[in-house]
Amino acid sequence: MGTRDRTRPDESRKPSYITAEGYRRLEEEAHRLWTEERPRLAQAVAVAAAEGDRSENAEYIYGKRKLAEIDRRLKFLSGRLDVLTIVDQKPRADGKVYFGCYVTVEDEAGERACYRLVGPDETGAGEGFISIESPMARALLGKEEGDEVTVVRPRGAVTYVIDAVDVNPPGNARR
């Protein structure tokens, strides 16, 4: 199993952690699909079906495919929401890296980046959200401001210095 496989949303029913915001986003997506998208598409398919020959009706065929995609996504979301563990309290603000923290790092070339350590189901939710299962997050966990971490990547190892650890997003630096 490659690194990319481990950092994608888990489709098994294996438990995983998620932030409260991430869980809320998944719930909102499921609600929107169930109450808005699916009924609208089902109506469009019914209208297209009433037009006659379904075998050559592009709107009917496309609508049925999209409906199947929505149903697969709803099934996936239902299964995931059942097994996710919500981490709803902020991490301690003691300068150490925990799940949910925002971490600013600087590489050897002086390039800075900010990451938030989140569950694998919410990595695409925002700029710099990285899975707790990724090599970068695993290297950062438990470390503190000023520590050096080495991350082994396919292109080679990179050393970072942890510049800042915060429980709030950058720009909201309340501790």
CATH hierarchy code of domain 102-166: 3.10.50.30
The pair of three-digit structure tokens given for residue 166, joined into one six-digit string: 């915060």
Provide the 8-state DSSP code for 144: B
Domain boundaries, the chain: 3-87, 102-166
Rounded to whole angstroms, how far apart are CA atoms 167 and 93?
6
pLDDT in the model for residue 2: 42
Q: Decide yes or no: CATH 1.10.287.180 for domain 3-87.
A: yes
Question: CB of 160 within 8 A of CB of 151?
Answer: yes
Please give the pLDDT value at position 50.
Answer: 87
Q: In this structure, are residues 46 and 59 in contact, taking their beta carbons and an 8 Å threshold?
A: no
User: 150 or 155, which is more confident?
Assistant: 150
pLDDT value of position 12: 56
Owner of token pair 């209208």: 47
Instruction: Say what the pLDDT of residue 124 is.
Output: 72
Neighbour tally for 47: CB within 10 Å: 12
SS3 call for 118: strand
Q: Which has more confidence, 100 or 174?
A: 100
Phi-psi region of 80 (alpha: psi -120 to 50; beta: other; left: phi over 0): alpha
Per-residue model confidence (pLDDT) at position 10:
52
Higher pLDDT: 171 or 6? It is 171
Mean pLDDT over 88-112 rounds to 90
- 101-141 residue pLDDT tens: 999 999 999 999 999 999 998 877 668 899 999 999 999 99
Q: Which among 117, 115, 151 is positioned nearest to 132, based on CA atoms?
A: 117
- Is residue 1 pLDDT above 90, yes or no? no
**Gap between the Cα atoms of 86 and 40, Å rounded:** 31
Residue 97 is predicted with a pLDDT of: 95
Angle between helices 20-32 and 58-83 in degrees, nearest 10:
150
Taking only the tens place, the pLDDT of each residue in 7-64 is: 445 555 666 899 999 999 999 999 999 999 999 999 999 988 888 777 778 888 899 9
The per-residue pLDDT for 13 is 60
